[in-house]
Structure 1
């Protein structure tokens, strides 16, 4: 990780860091959680509206 800059949150006054990672430093989970039934229904309705 390379730290590029440090800022202060104007609302909470907490330090924020902007960092750059090498691609091999990022670990992705092997799976994605299942889609909820509510989201599935919403997507189906939106797709039907589009035709």
Structure 2
């Protein structure tokens, strides 16, 4: 098994954990500037494609 195959699940868990930790702060930014989530949300899903 390759190193990439071994480390990917770990990176996925860390990345998802970081996004969930920052969710409330990002919502506060969206509310402050009266904007809707956009590119960064779409980009996130693109990164998860194997």
If the length of structure 1 is used for normalisation, what is the TM-score?
0.32
Q: Pick 1 or 2: higher relative contact order, CA cutoff 8 A, min separation 6.
A: 2
If the length of structure 2 is used for normalisation, what is the TM-score?
0.33
